[in-house]
Chains A and B, each alone.
Chain A
């Protein structure tokens, strides 16, 4: 049915109404959530359903929310310097919950040396300060698909 051509596709027969759902949050102790809010807003404008969980999240809280909301991706803003603990811990928890297919990306003040290490541990992409918002939106559009 999906192969039907022309305006036939517009008929709401068997519609795959899947929307991309992404959790955006801020783990750790720093209280600067402007960046996270801007990303949330930009993703909303790109048609994503953003579950915004706010500040001071522990990895356990983030993964629990991600499971209940059945998200396709998790975007985290970390400015506190605790990224080398927080990201790997979240990946570990995701794997324990058999949620290894959830794409984890992040942004914040992350030293260049740490980025390859985080990627190796399973963080899909890290954005550093100065990244244009559109680049992040393009990344999400390209990389994160709604699950089957």
Chain B
């Protein structure tokens, strides 16, 4: 364990903040620290909050945090906002609604930009959740970007997924019929003091009731809330408690853990394998000629990819898993 890792385990928030930034920025040394912290993770309860833009996610996260603090739980919040596809910049504004926790040492808030990652989270989200977990946060809230229909990555990361819906958006109900409907562990009709709230609630209840639930299987409840005035938050947390009991039942928890492990591994492999393939091709001087051939339609990307995948990776694995450091600089470990 390096110095940074030790400091984080000892409760140094500043060291944790720096590691989170380094992970988001893909600094290699940060991965080393995270490797050592990894076995200290797995204790936190992870709660995902998703829904369309303006549904009230930040406001609800703020309320939930207040109630969790009253219960004496420490809280980590990962709030994700979109990166501008044009400039690469972002405005991360989720903290605005969470200001009342700004001076509470039991609450750690990290804002992240998607940086081009799809699925409602940033590439670094799982890493940063792991750091908060190692910090000893009891509950970690993940607020996704405002999502449409298909951004359901959160489902694999969180123990309990809250899906927020607001009344008055007929199309919104349409939107949740696929994708998001299926990931909700708990539905929240937020802004339920508005016209159409009952209708929205009934429509979701109807959809849920059409689902095929086996004996003892979790059936997502549909709750009403007005996050702005804290109405419904207590009932919501009680539903979360019930879901937690369900998740912690033997079988469910190990299934969740395996599924999360799979996502962690696949996500990391995806990034690493692509980087490695491209840089190896480039280091061998193959990349540019291949691209030129493709541009002239002499070669196709499908064949090239097949060759890279079949030969390159299998080859390295058969050679005892030594990564082919093609560059002159040998890797020191």
Contact = CB atoms under 8 A, between A and B. Distances in A.
Interface residues of B, number: 39
Nearest to A8: B282
Interface stretch (B88-96, B164-172, B296-304, B309-317): B88-96
Q: Which of A17, A18, A60, A69 has the most CB of B within 10 A?
A: A69
A54 B95 contact: yes
A136 interface: no
Nearest to B19: A70
Interface of B: 13-14, 17-18, 20-21, 25-28, 83-84, 86-93, 95-96, 99, 102-103, 108-111, 113, 115, 275, 278-279, 282, 287-288, 327, 329
Contact of A67 (B14, B27, B28, B275): B14
Given A49-B113, A52-B92, A70 B103 contact: no
Given A64-B103, A65-B102, A70 B20 contact: yes
Given A47-B89, A69-B111, A13 B275 contact: yes
A111 to B, nearest CB: 29
Contact of B111 (A41, A51, A56): A51
A140 B111 CA distance: 21
B17 A70 contact: yes
A143 interface: no
Contact of A52 (B26, B84, B95, B103): B95
Contacts of A131: none
A40 interface: yes
A67 B99 contact: no
A77 to B, nearest CB: 14
Given A1-B327, A54-B96, A70 B21 contact: yes
A12 B275 contact: yes
Contacts of B89: 43-50
A53 B101 CA distance: 12
Contacts of A16: 25, 27
A53 B92 CA distance: 8
Contact of A50 (B86, B90, B102, B279): B90
Interface string A33-75: 0000000110111111111111011101100110111100000
A66 B328 CA distance: 41
A15 interface: yes
Would you list the 9 A-B pairs with minimal beta carbon distance, nearest first?
A: A54-B96, A44-B89, A70-B21, A61-B102, A13-B279, A11-B282, A47-B89, A70-B17, A47-B88
A98 interface: yes
B333 to A, nearest CB: 16
Contact of A17 (B18, B25, B86, B110): B25
Contact of A51 (B92, B108, B329): B92
